[in-house]
Amino acid sequence: MTTTTTTRTRSPHQHEPVSANSANKAAQTSHSAFDSIPRPNTVLWNTIIIGFIFNGFPSDALRFYARMSHSSPPPKSDSYTYSSALKACAHTRHLPLGKSLHCRILRTHSKLSPIVANSLLNMYSSCLSPWFELGGEEMGLKNCEFSRGDSVQKVFDKMGKRNVVSWNTMIAWYVRTGRAVLALKQFKLMMSVGIKPTAVSFVNVFPAVAASGDRKNCNVLYGLLLKFGSEYVNDLFVVSSAISMYSEVSDVESIRLVFSLSIERNTEVWNTMIGGYVQNGCYEEGLDVFLRVLGLDDIVPDNVTFLAALTAISQLQRLEFGRQVHAYVVKNSMASETIILNALIAMYSKCDSIMLAFKVFEKMLDRDSVSWNTMISAFVQNGLDHEGLMLVYEMQKQGFILDSVTMTALLSAASNIGDSDIGKQTHAYLFRHGIRFEGMDSYLIDMYAKSGLIKLHSGCLRILVLKLETK
């Protein structure tokens, strides 16, 4: 099958982005022209608000909406006004204003139009935390019906007419909040009421099927997708999502099948393919695909591409390959990317080249906590415990907070060198800061045992051993 590649990463239904400068100038020009109009009507207000959102200025859109609301006499807001303002709230994650708008809509409209209802769904699903939402009383919205419970679900249940956008939003919300079973039920219900799924529907529901771990259901869903034709099968977002779905259920053959059926491939599709192989331990195959990407003129590898490749190199301990990738990164001006440099440190450490790892760390201009933890862990794992401890002190001096990863390395170093003082200080730090992590009790027992403090801390050890036994 002949395939082509493309650098397009946006849906064919999306507008191409404009540069920030040209968008800003266009917005200023429109704003100036608008100010010259004595009494602008609702359509003109809506046009400016939508223009701000389209050009990536949602905060300006909200300010303009506020200006519209406080103008005298205020023009009447219509469905497009509220829809646009709610979309700006979603982009800025401004939940209080979104709820305020919802209250205003409920006071002025007995029935919600589909465009407003869908905008409310989008606003809540974008602004709310996946697990919690603020109660209505805290926001001063005691009388609003949506102050308690799942606001997204409540809006959906009260919709008079639901289109595929409504169903897609609900499915995506269930997936985002970890309710995969409900997402699948929602997809089936959508089909049963005669709503034809779009490509977005499949992109949203694939993670739910993957979470079930059921290969049979994955095949049923992908088979349904194939029935809808090439427009669905060749959608770039669908291809990436389908590969991810099969990766999660460790179905490598199906990963290859989906990839082979794709006529068009962008960077994200190639990255998902490499990541699928690496996730399932097919490191050599992942590197083969990586090398194919490097040979393509119209595909630009990004951070995700190199992170997946460096993970495969680390697992295979292919030092020379790793050095070649490092050279490529430097040559292509990616050597300032912190996330890539962190991966290089980890790769060199796994390949037992601790000095090369430290050289990368030493030359970094911008280090984050991952950089420090990766280097500290590299020292400890390679038997350089004192160097690891010195780096922890330096990390603290630089103002970084020690987390569970740092503590794990510290306890390992204390165990290895039998330093009781460091071990006790680390244990005290864990206790004071309420830090807990998987395997912590085992690390503490090992540290106290190797430091010769079994008798002194026998009471503590008895408690830890009981915890381990109950687990």
Full DSSP string of 3-46: -EE----S-TTSPPP--HHHHHHHHHHHHHHHHT-SS--HHHHH
pLDDT at 27 over 70: no
Quote the pLDDT of residue 332: 87
Neighbouring residues of 444: CB distance < 8 A, sequence distance ≥ 6: 411, 427, 460, 464
Quote the pLDDT of residue 430: 78
Range of the domain at 97: 19-158
Quote the pLDDT of residue 451: 65
DSSP designation for 130: S
Quote the pLDDT of residue 189: 96
Quote the pLDDT of residue 143: 39
CB atoms within 10 A of CB 78: 16
Average pLDDT over residues 414-423: 76
Report whether 265 contacts 300 (CB < 8 A): no
Quote the pLDDT of residue 460: 57
Q: What percent of the chain has pLDDT over 90?
A: 59
Average pLDDT over residues 16-33: 55
Q: Indicate whether 172 belongs to any domain.
A: no
Report whether 432 contacts 416 (CB < 8 A): no
pLDDT at 306 over 80: yes
DSSP designation for 165: H
Task: Give backbone dihedrals phi and psi of 197, rounded to 5 degrees, phi first.
Answer: -70, 150
Quote the pLDDT of residue 418: 76
Q: Indicate whether 55 belongs to any domain.
A: yes
**pLDDT band for position 15 (50/70/90)?**
very low
**CA gap 232, 238 in Å, rounded:** 7
**CA gap 326, 187 in Å, rounded:** 45
Average pLDDT over residues 115-140: 71
Which of 115, 137, 158 lies at the terminal end of a domain, its last residue?
Answer: 158
Number of structural domains in the chain: 2
Q: What's the start-to-end Cα distance of the chain, in Å?
A: 53
Quote the pLDDT of residue 370: 96
Q: Indicate whether 122 belongs to any domain.
A: yes
**CA gap 337, 359 in Å, rounded:** 15
Q: Indicate whether 445 belongs to any domain.
A: yes
Tokens of 327: 């050279």
3-state secondary structure of 264: strand
Of the two residues 296 and 454, the one the predictor is more confident about is: 296
**CA gap 306, 341 in Å, rounded:** 10
**Of the listed ranges 85-99, 146-160, 340-354, the one predicted with least confidence:** 146-160
- b/e per residue, 102-127, with b = 16+ CB within 10 A? bbebeeeeeebbbbbbbbbbbbbbbb
Q: Indicate whether 263 belongs to any domain.
A: no
Which of 158, 179, 214 lies at the terminal end of a domain, its last residue?
Answer: 158
One-letter amino acid of 376: I
Average pLDDT over residues 344-352: 96
Alpha-carbon dihedral sign for residues 277, 279, 283, 288 = positive
Quote the pLDDT of residue 71: 84
Of the two residues 367 and 427, the one the predictor is more confident about is: 367
Quote the pLDDT of residue 434: 78
Q: Indicate whether 198 belongs to any domain.
A: no
pLDDT at 55 over 90: no
Report whether 385 contacts 417 (CB < 8 A): yes
Q: Indicate whether 360 belongs to any domain.
A: no
Quote the pLDDT of residue 121: 94
Tens-place pLDDT, residues 223-247 = 999 999 999 999 999 999 999 999 9
Which of 127, 158, 189 lies at the terminal end of a domain, its last residue?
Answer: 158
**Of the listed ranges 117-131, 263-277, 366-380, the one predicted with least confidence:** 117-131
Quote the pLDDT of residue 424: 77
**CA gap 305, 273 in Å, rounded:** 10
Report whether 124 contacts 139 (CB < 8 A): no
Quote the pLDDT of residue 90: 94
C-alpha separations of 25 from 19, 29, 52 in Å = 10, 6, 11
**CA gap 347, 316 in Å, rounded:** 10
Q: Tokens 């697992």 correspond to what residue?
A: 315
Q: Indicate whether 25 belongs to any domain.
A: yes
CB atoms within 10 A of CB 86: 28
Report whether 184 contacts 215 (CB < 8 A): no
Looking up residue 72, the CATH number of its domain turns out to be 1.25.40
Quote the pLDDT of residue 446: 74
Tokens of 43: 């359509």
Considering only the C-alpha atoms of the chain, give the largest distance between any 2 of them, rounded to a whole number of Å.
86
Full DSSP string of 388-401: HHHHHHHHHHTTPP
Reduced DSSP (H G I as helix, E B as strand, rest coil) percent helix, strand, coil of the chain, to 5: 70, 0, 30
pLDDT at 433 over 80: no
**CA gap 348, 318 in Å, rounded:** 9
